[in-house]
Chains A and B, each alone.
Chain A
Amino acid sequence: MFLIQCPWCGNRAETEYRYGGEAGISRPKDPDALSDAEWSDYLFYRSNPRGAHKELWNHAQGCRRWFEVERDTVSYKIARSYKLADRNSESGS
C-alpha cells in the first residue's frame, strides 16, 4: 500500500487521492501577451524529472483538500507534504 500524508488527515492509502500534476505552475497574468510557444509551454509542457518532483494531490475520498507533495519519481519516497499556504516555508513533514 502506497501511503501519502494528507496535511490534515494523516497517512492514507493512495487510492483515496487524485493526482493533480506538477505543482507551482501559475496561469500567466496576461495570456494575450504570450507567444504561441509560451502559451503551449504553459498549457502542455511539464518538467517530468527523474528524481525530486513537486506535485499537487487532492484528498478526493477524504477531506477533499488540495495540497503539495515532494516525491521522488524513481523511489516514490515522499520527502514532505504540506498545505498550499505553507508552500514557501520549510515546515511540513
Chain B
Amino acid sequence: MSDSSRRLHGLEFFLRSQQRPDTKASGIHARILDDVTHVNLRGNSNDAEFNRGVEKVLGQALPVEPNTVSIRESHIYWLGPDEWLVVSKAADSPGLATRLENTLRNIHSSVNDISGGQVTFTLSGENVERVLNKACTIDFDAGTFKPGHCAQSGLAKASVLIGCIEQSRTFELIVRRSFADYVARWLRHAARHHGIEFR
C-alpha cells in the first residue's frame, strides 16, 4: 500500500501531548486506529438482489435489527432502516467501496466511502462503561448493552456511534473527524480517576 492511500486518524498531536502513561490497575486502554475504512451503505434490505450483492462483497449479511452490529470480518453497524456503516480494517479495504459500487451498479442503492470523515477509537478496561455512562443517556451496563449491541447517540454533546464488539467489554467508538480531538480530550479528563492510556 502506498503512503498516499493510508488513512491516518489525525490525532498525532493529541497523542504527543499525553503525559506519562498512567498504569493504574483498573486503567482504560484507548486506541485510536489508523487505516480503517468506513463505507456508508444504503439500500432496501427487503430486496433479495441487494442483499445477495452485499453478501457477495462483504461475506456477511446486513443486520436488520435496530441497534445491532454484525461482527465478523467487517463490523456492519445498523444506522437506520435502510442504512448501514461498514467498518473494515482489512488490507484490501480501501477498495471496498468500489467493489460494492460495481456489484450494486444496477440495484437501487448508494455507496459512499466516508473513511476520511470519521475516526475510530477502541476502548477497553473494566471501567469503560462507567466513563461512557457519565455523559451519554444510553445505559452501557454489561447487563443491557451486550456484545453486538450498538447505539447512535450523544456523548458529551458530540454525536457518536458506539458498539460493544467483544465479550471482554471492548467498545468501538466512532466520531466525526472534527470531533475526534474533543472526544479524546473529554475521555482523558472523564477517565482520569481510573487511569487512561491512549495508543
A residues near B81, Cβ cutoff 8 Å = 8, 63, 65
Nearest residue, chain B, Cβ from A6: B66
A residues near B79, Cβ cutoff 8 Å = 63-64
Residue B26, interface by CB 8 Å: no
Contact residues of A between 46 and 93, Cβ < 8 Å to B:
61-65
A82 to B167 Cα, complex, angstroms: 34
Contact residues of A between 1 and 30, Cβ < 8 Å to B:
1, 8-10, 12-13, 15-16
Q: Which one of A1, A8, A16 contacts B153 once the chains associate, using CB atoms below 8 Å?
A: A16
- State whether A10 and B67 are in contact (beta carbons under 8 Å apart), knowing that A1-B137, A65-B80, A65-B81 are contacts in the complex: yes
- State whether A10 and B154 are in contact (beta carbons under 8 Å apart), knowing that A61-B159, A63-B80, A65-B80 are contacts in the complex: no
Q: Convert B52-78 into 0s and 1s, putting 1 for each residue whose CB lies closer than 8 angstroms to a CB of A.
A: 000000000000001100000000000
Nearest residue, chain A, Cβ from B159: A61
Residue B93, interface by CB 8 Å: no
Nearest residue, chain A, Cβ from B154: A61
A residues near B151, Cβ cutoff 8 Å = 9, 62
A residues near B159, Cβ cutoff 8 Å = 61
A8 to B83 Cα, complex, angstroms: 12
A77 to B5 Cα, complex, angstroms: 52
B residues near A64, Cβ cutoff 8 Å = 79-80
Chain B interface secondary structure, helix, strand, loop or mixed? strand
A15 touches B67 (CB 8 A): no
What bracket does the count of chain B residues touching chain A fall in?
10 to 19
| Most interface-central of A8, A61, A64 (chain B CB within 10 A) | A61
Taking the closest CB of chain B, its distance from the CB of A16, in whole angstroms, is: 6
Taking the closest CB of chain A, its distance from the CB of B185, in whole angstroms, is: 20
Residue B152, interface by CB 8 Å: yes
A residues near B153, Cβ cutoff 8 Å = 12, 16, 61-62
Nearest residue, chain A, Cβ from B155: A61
B residues near A10, Cβ cutoff 8 Å = 66-67
Taking the closest CB of chain A, its distance from the CB of B128, in whole angstroms, is: 20
Taking the closest CB of chain A, its distance from the CB of B84, in whole angstroms, is: 11
Given A8-B81, A9-B67, A63-B152, 18 other A-B residues pairs in contact with their CB atoms under 8 A:
A9-B151, A9-B152, A10-B66, A10-B67, A12-B153, A13-B137, A16-B154, A61-B153, A61-B154, A61-B159, A62-B151, A62-B152, A63-B66, A63-B79, A63-B80, A63-B81, A63-B83, A65-B80
